[in-house]
Every structure is written in structure tokens, then in C-alpha cells.
Amino acid sequence: MIRVGRPERHSISEKWLRGAARPPLLTPVSSMRSFWGLMRAYWFSDRWVEAWTLTLVIALFTALSSKAGVWFAEASGELVNSIAFYHDAANTTPLASLLTNAGMLILLVVLKDAGFTGIRTFVSATLHRKWRGWLDSRFNEALLDTNHTHFHAQHGSSGAAAPDNIDQRVQESIKDMTGGAIGLAIGVMAVATSLYFVGQKLLETSVEVKGLEFLGSYGSAVLAFLAVAIYVPLNTWIAVKVGRLLERLNIRMQQSEGSYRGELTTFLRRSFHVAASQGENVQKTMHDRLYVDIDRTWARLNIVNTGYRSFELIYNFIGARIVAYAPGLVPYIHNRFDLKGYITGSEMVNSLISQCSWFIHVMPSIAALRANSQRVTELANAIENVQHPQEFYSLTGCSDFRYDRQNPVFGLTIQKLELTHQGEDASPFLSAANLRFRRGEWTFLKGESGCGKTSLIKAINGLWPYGRGTIVFPEGVESFYAAQEVKLQQVSLKQLVCLPGSEHDHTDAQVASALHRAGLGDFIEHMADESREGMNWDQVLSGGQKQKLVVARIVLQQPGLLFLDEATGALDPEGKIAFHQAIKDNCPDVTVISIMHEAVPPRSLSGAEFYHSIVTIADGVATKKPLAPSLPVELTTILAHPRPVEEKWLRFPRRIRQK
């Protein structure tokens, strides 16, 4: 057997065609498997200039906002002072002074909130949008790779369950996490800049305090810093304890919401089947059961959030009206401060407490951030764990498939194949000692429902996880796996026809020709449209038309190895003949392996066989033999094209009816 590199296009991933033990592969999310790795990935990516530019702008306006907070405290002191001394005889222009100070305070509020804070909010929202978009592209690229990671990541391993609700993790968790992280970073910047600017001002205006003369003129500043250092950390410790409970509840809430939303999405896609089976009551019971989990978690979350909100309100009042004003009260009583200095200093302490209490104010958001980041990092780890699928599946069962290549003249070969389910001791449910499919040979897979026909095709294509055996592909031959339909939303008809390639791989004329040959010529003028009359193509096309679409894809791609997994199930007998004839006429050398429910495979209109051999699966064993019908041509034609039997039967000569 010859082991070769990756073909230009093949349904089997290169990773399945390599050897056994391999070092971990780097994926687009390899650096995001921990909290800090996830947080810094964007800033050290190929978009680092964009990320750091926006971050520095945010830092600049955060610093300006903190400095404006000092100006606000000074202006508040001036306003209170003008009110206190409004009737003082020495104040010759009391009204003008009052209005001037009030106007200055309003101007500072506008400058700080509408100017510095407003611009910072816009830039941070832009950073949020850019960061989320980058992360979304990284996870989409990692999930939708040639390794079929999106498929493997939905399987758990020993000690690690598969990540639930991947769609929610990519959409909501990334969005909420990036927004929360930016808010956290802005808060840290605000604390640092406030400590600098407010602390500097407190030191500048500090005075000696009676009983603390050994501190000199830094007495009042030390009292202020001490009050903040005791009050804020103590309450932060309480907030952290409550925050951990909030984090657990947030994770549970996201899981419950994701499960409920996922079931609703699935239900809407299969609503016809629910209506046809009159299964609305069963579906409603399922929805009610899933929503109970949401309701219980939400109730607990409301209780904790209400308690935390009450704690926060009390904390804010005590901090702003008692702790902030207490340090300056002693020097004010001893006439070290005038009223203006006392108010100014207290407002600055209040500003310092407010900024340093940011951690307490956003603890619910931090809990949500940690919950969201945990769900994102879990997904990143799941993606990383399945980069070598066989090694991943071998943790929970036997997974020892070998995929090789050989000279195309020998076709496709299967040797000592055994398929099992999960579990180290699982017994094979299907075995095939030696199957060979020649170039240009058409083979029909036959067996009872559930015997493993589809599993066999999945295993050949590297999509069955458990078992062992060797599958040898013809070198340089492109393969094509065709199921009944492709359920892709919001894509054009041309994109659907060009699968698994890109719409740019083929011209409009080539796609139009393929549609015409498949019997879908009426849709040629609409092949660039993503929808028709407000419906996507999955809703526009009937079951039979969807299977004609499969023909168009095959005709366009011209594969050398074709797997048909019940690809004609929605076609009538004439449609099945046309389906096979189109492949026969347009892909003359293709090797076909097909699953159908018919007792015998269809024939052409002239009575010629499409298929050359049959693989029968019985008692867990697959055996292959040439297709040699034992019945007359007329009888096999009846079986392949079911119609009222008596009517057709009576049309045959007596000699045939007597056989």
C-alpha cells in the first residue's frame, strides 16, 4: 500500500490519512483554551494594530474622564461654598458667583459624560464589534475545517462531555464575554487613573490631623486612604462570595436557555412531521419540561440578584454619605479645613470609593463574563481535542481505522473491516473481510433497516468513529458522498450545486448545463438567488427536486468515486431511472456504491442493468457478489418499477407467467 499526501479534493480529511501518534495540531483557537489565553488572543493576532489602537484610545479617554472627576469634585466644592456664603457681607456678587459655579459644574458634567465618556463608549463599542467578529471568524474556521471538527466535537470522551449548544456558545457567549471583558478593562483603567489623579489631589490638599501629628501634613490624606482601604476590600470580599454563586447560576441558565432554544429551532425545522403525526401535545410537553429548568434557575438567580442589589444600594449610601465624609470631619472640626475644603476633599474621597468599588458594582457582570468565557474555552478545548479523531475516539472505544491509497486501476478496497459502537468491549455489529470495487463498477447495498448500510458508507468516508479495518482509496480519484438532500440555509442555488466546492470554481454556464441535465432547467435564471418568493431553497424545492439537485452536483463535479445514501428515496420509478441514467451518461467511468430500499436495483428504459454487483448485509456480515438476476427481465422490471401487479402481470405471455 502506498501512503500519499492530500489529494486536491477528497471527502476524507488528510488527518484521517496520516499515521497514528501525532503531535497536537494548531487550530485557529489553540491559544484560547484558558481564560487569559482567550482574553489576549485578539491583541496578539494579525489584527493587533487595530486592537491596540482602539485600546489606547479607550485608555486616553478613561484617563481624561478620571481627571474630569477631580475637576467635578473641585467645582462641587465651589458651588457648595457659594451657597454657604451667599449671605456673607463680603460676598458682593452672590448670585453671579452661584450661577457661575453652577454653570461650571454643568459644563464639567457635559464634558465628562457627553464628551470623554461618550467618545469612550463609542470606541469601546467599536472594539467590542471588532473583537467579537474576529473571535467568531476564528471559531467558525476551526469548526468548519476539512477535519469535520463540527461533527466530531459533538461527541464526548471519557471524563469530558461534549459541549452543549455550540451555536449558543459561538453566538451569545462570545458576544456577552467580549462586552463584559471590555467593561472590566475600562473599570480597571478607571481605578488606576482615579487613584493617580484623585490621590494626587488629596495629597496636595492634605492637612495635619490632631492625634496624628506624626504624619505631618499628610494626616487627612492618610485617613482618607485608610477609610477606602478598609471599606472597599471588606465589601469586595462579600461581593466575590456572592459572585461565585451568580457565576454558577449564570452557567446553568445559559445551558437551560440553550437547550430550550435548540429544541425550538429543531421543532420548527420538522414542524411538518409534527403536524402530520399530530404530535403537538408531545412536543408541547417537551417544551414545558425544558422550560421548567429555565424557570427554576431564573427564580434562584432573581433571589440572589435582588439580595446583591440591596447590598449594593446600602454599600453606595454608606460609602458616599458616611465613609467619604468621615475622614475630613476631624480636621474640619479642628478648623484645619474650611467648608469648601471639607466638601471638596469628601467629594474626592467619594469619587475614589466609587471608582475602587467598580469591582463590586459589576460583580454580576463579572460572574456573567466568567460564565461566558468558561463556555467559550470549553468549546476551544473540545475543538482542540478532536483534531486527531481516531485518537480522540479511542478514549471511549475501539477506533483503529487505516486509510491508504493505491494505484487507481485497483479501485477501492476494504480489508478486515469491523464496525462497533462506543465502548471498549463493544461487539462488532458489521464486518467485511474483503470488499473490492473496481473502477467504473456500480454496486448496490442491500440489507434490512438498521443492519449498518449507512454506517458502512460513513466508515469508508471517515465519518464512523468506532471500529477497525483498512480502507484503500484509488489514488488521485475524487470522491463524492451524496445523501438525500443538503440542508443549508441562506445560500444561492449556484452555491448548492457547486458543493462541496466553491461557486467560484465553476462558471454560470457550467452550472446551468448541470441543472438542465438534472431536469432543473426551470431554475437556471434564479441560480444566483438565495431565496425565491421569500423562501430559501430548502423550502422552495420539493423532495424530488432536491434529489435532482444531487444529480446536478454530481454532473458538475464529475467524481470518480460516488456514494449514494438513499439519494433517490423521494423519486418515483421513472425519476429513479432518470437519476441513474443522468449519472451513467455524464460520468462514464465513475465507481458507484449505492444504498436503496428497493428489492432490486432499477434498470434503464431499455432494460439494461445500471448495477454490476450487490453487497448484501445479513447477520452482521457484508458479502459482495456479481448481480445475476435469477428472474426473467420482465419480472425484475416489475419489481424495480412497482405498479399494479395484476395489470402488468396479465400483459406478459403465458410462457412467462407459468415460470
pTM of the model as a whole: 0.66
518-543 average pLDDT score: 80
Most confidently predicted of 88-102, 244-258, 364-378, 452-466: 452-466
Parallel, antiparallel, or unpaired: how do β-strands 613-618 and 430-437 relate?
unpaired
Residue 562 CA, chain-centre distance (Å), reads: 31
Q: Strand pairing partners for 412? A: 437
Residue 636 binned pLDDT confidence (cut-offs 50, 70, 90): very low
Residue 615 binned pLDDT confidence (cut-offs 50, 70, 90): very high
d(CA 240, CA 602): 70
Q: Give the CA angle between residues 106, 112, 118 to the nearest 5°.
A: 120
Residue 353 binned pLDDT confidence (cut-offs 50, 70, 90): confident
How many other β-carbons are positioned within 10 Å of the β-carbon of residue 392? 20
Tens digit of each residue's pLDDT (9 = 90 or more) over 29-69: 999 999 899 999 999 999 999 999 999 999 998 888 888 87
Cell numbers 494579525: residue: 46
pLDDT of amino acid 288: 86
pLDDT of amino acid 586: 87
Burial 176-193 (b: 16+ CB within 10 A, else e): bbbbbbbbbbbbebbbeb
Residue 424 binned pLDDT confidence (cut-offs 50, 70, 90): confident
Tens digit of each residue's pLDDT (9 = 90 or more) over 90-101: 877 888 888 888
d(CA 121, CA 115): 10
For residue 321, what is the DSSP state? I
pLDDT of amino acid 431: 93
- Phi and psi for 657 in degrees, rounded to 5? -65, -25
CA distances from 422 to 304, 399, 419, 455, 516 (A): 42, 9, 10, 14, 45
Evaluate if residue 189 carries a pLDDT over 60.
yes
Most confidently predicted of 52-56, 600-604, 653-657: 52-56
Half-sphere exposure of 136 (CA within 13 A, CB side): 15
Helix ranges restricted to H, 319-362? 326-333, 339-356, 358-361
pLDDT of amino acid 41: 93
Helix ranges restricted to H, 87-162? 94-109, 117-143, 149-152
Which cell goes with 10? Answer: 477528497
114-118 average pLDDT score: 82
Contacts of 249 by beta carbon, 8 Å cutoff, 6+ apart: 297, 300, 301, 304
Contacts of 254 by beta carbon, 8 Å cutoff, 6+ apart: 165, 168, 172, 173, 371, 372, 375
Packing angle, helices 508-517 and 543-557, rounded to 10 = 130
Residue 436 binned pLDDT confidence (cut-offs 50, 70, 90): very high
Instruction: Look at residues 347, 356, 55, 317 and name the one whose alpha carbon lies nearest to residue 194.
Output: 356
Residue 159 binned pLDDT confidence (cut-offs 50, 70, 90): low
Q: Which helix (H) or strand (E) holds 594?
A: strand 591-595
Helix, coil or strand: residue 402: strand
180-199 average pLDDT score: 80
Tens digit of each residue's pLDDT (9 = 90 or more) over 202-239: 888 888 888 777 888 888 888 888 888 888 887 878 88
Residue 23 binned pLDDT confidence (cut-offs 50, 70, 90): low
